[in-house]
Amino acid sequence: MTDKSNPYYVAYIREKKARAEIEQMLEDYTRQVYEKNVLLEQQIEQIKNQQQSLIQQEKLALLGSLAAGVAHEINNPLAFVISNVTTLNSYVADLLAVVPNAQLNAAERHNIDFITEDLPELISDTDQGFYRIKDIVKNLLFFARTDTEQMIDIDLCDAIEMAVKLLGPKLKDVFVKQQLNPVDNIRFNSGELNQVLVNILVNAIQACEQQNNDAGMITITLSQHDHTIKLNIIDNGCGMPPEVKQRMFDAFYTTKPIGTGTGIGMSIVLQILQQQNAGVEVQSEVGKGTNVQITFNAV
């Protein structure tokens, strides 16, 4: 009797085969459980990051509302301070005109001459400072407008200049070159348009900073052909590889260090532009820069 005909041997082989199959099934199941656990941990981490981003956005939204409220509060006292400085300038001129020079000694006459020469420049500088504050307040109010349902005719040149002024403190190391040809107005929501412009410009600024290039430059061009208006925001920053460019409009996708980006800025840009029937195209090359082109329809 051979081993194959031995019932004990056959039972042993059957048991060995069944054990191997069970071990393989257990190994496969363990591997699947491990992979699912890894995926679950990644999803939990992604949810935490999204949660943090949403919290940050909520803080920024609250900060925007507070900034708008503060700007409104500054506007009223600023108006009468500017008016008072103008009146003060005329009063000082009248007072200095009637100062009795004949009754003054040499030292007093020297002081009066110095005041007469310096005071107009001092008041002029103060006046210019107040008007700069007024411009900042106006830009803040324009950016923080919450009339999301209201569509108005907007001059793109003015909107671009306001966005650049608003980002002035961030542009210390980046030169902005504007080539804005006169174009027709567009029908848009002013607050949303400013959000689009600011988000793209902030990305361009950060790209220039990441390039560590002392000659960081952003070129803004505006042109019109028939009823199509094209706005190009071009930077000479770090650029993007194809895999990053492909995902740049995905919500919560970011390649920036923690604390410098939430990953939803360009997603918001795309959403706003699609809602307003405007188009956006992006060209980018690593180490050379990025060109974001927005196409609007003229009124």
Does pLDDT of 7 surpass 90?
no
| Pairwise pLDDT comparison (290 vs 98), residue with the higher score | 290
Q: Are 53 and 263 in contact (CB under 8 A)?
A: yes
8-state DSSP, 293: E
Give the pLDDT band of residue 252 (cuts 50, 70, 90): low
- Compute the CA torsion angle 187, 232, 281, 199 (nearest 10 deg): -70
Name which of 233, 234, 223 is nearest 296 in CA terms: 223
- Compute the CA torsion angle 60, 62, 64, 65 (nearest 10 deg): 170
- Give me the pLDDT at residue 123, please: 83
**% of the chain beyond a pLDDT of 70:** 80
Q: What is the mean pLDDT of residues 238-266?
A: 72
For residues 86 and 95, what is the distance between their CA atoms, to the nearest angstrom?
15
Q: What is the mean pLDDT of residues 273-277?
A: 88
- Give me the pLDDT at residue 64, please: 61
Give the pLDDT band of residue 1 (cuts 50, 70, 90): very low
Q: What is the mean pLDDT of residues 44-65?
A: 67
For residues 187 and 260, what is the distance between their CA atoms, to the nearest angstrom?
32
Q: What is the mean pLDDT of residues 71-89?
A: 79
Give the pLDDT band of residue 134 (cuts 50, 70, 90): confident
Does pLDDT of 195 surpass 90?
no
Name which of 217, 225, 189 is nearest 288 in CA terms: 217
Give the mean pLDDT of the chain: 81
Name which of 133, 130, 136, 184 is nearest 157 in CA terms: 184
Name which of 172, 165, 178 is nearest 135 in CA terms: 165
- Give me the pLDDT at residue 84, please: 83
Q: What is the mean pLDDT of residues 134-156?
A: 70
Does pLDDT of 293 surpass 70?
yes
Name which of 159, 157, 148 is nearest 182 in CA terms: 157
- The pTM is what? 0.57
pLDDT in tens, 150-188: 788 999 999 999 889 888 878 888 999 999 999 999 999
Q: Note every long-range contact of 118-121, with CB atoms under 8 Å and residues 24 or more positions apart, other chains counting.
A: 119/92, 120/89, 120/93
**% of the chain beyond a pLDDT of 90:** 20
pLDDT in tens, 204-248: 998 888 877 678 899 999 999 989 999 999 999 989 888 888 888
Does pLDDT of 251 surpass 50?
yes
